[in-house]
Amino acid sequence: MNRAMGFVAGVALMLGASNVQAADISAGEAMYAQACAQCHGRTGRGMASFPSVSGQDAEYIEARLIQYREGEQVGPNSALMIPVAADLSDENITDLSAFIAKTFQ
C-alpha cells in the first residue's frame, strides 16, 4: 500500500500537463456527478466539512488523488477519500482532474 514516494512523484509527473489535453472531460463529469458531488457539491465549492475543489489546476487534483489512491493521509477527511480513490485508474484520475480544473474555476 505504501509505495515509494519517488514512484508516486514520477506518476504525478507523467500525468502532468501534457495529458490534460487528452483527457475525456465528459467522462470526468460523469464520475464527478456519481462519486464526488455528494460531498464537494455540484459546483465544487465544498459543503459542511468537505473542502472546495474549485480554483485548483489539474496537476494539483491529480497529485492529491494519487496520494489518496496510495493510501496516504492528506488532511482530516483522508478516511473518506482513500477508499474513493482506491480503484481509480490513471485514466480516471486524468479525466476527473481535467473536468474539475476546467469547470470549477
Pick 28 or 40: Cβ nearer another protein: 40
State which residue, 27 or 78, has the beta carbon closest to another protein. Answer: 78
CA distance to 5, 43, 83, per residue, from 55 (Å)? 26, 11, 24
Task: Please pick, from the candidates 30, 77, 91, 102, the single residue that binds another protein as defined by CB under 8 A.
Answer: 77
Closest by Cα among 41, 46, 51 to 78: 51
b/e code 21-36 from CB counts within 10 Å (16+ = b): eebbbebbbebbeeeb
- The answer to whether 75 and 17 are in contact (CB under 8 A) is no
How far apart are CB 41 and another protein at their closest, in Å?
6
37 DSSP assignment: H
Stretch that binds another protein, among 4-12, 53-61, 69-77, 88-96 (CB under 8 A): 69-77
CB of 81 to another protein, least distance (A): 10
| Single-letter amino acid, residue 51 | P
Question: Position of cell 490513471?
Answer: 90
Would you count residue 79 as binding another protein (CB under 8 A)? yes
Subset of residues 4 to 63 that bind another protein, contact rule: CB under 8 A: 38, 41-42, 47-49
Name the residues that contact another protein, by CB under 8 A.
38, 41-42, 47-49, 73, 76-80, 82-84
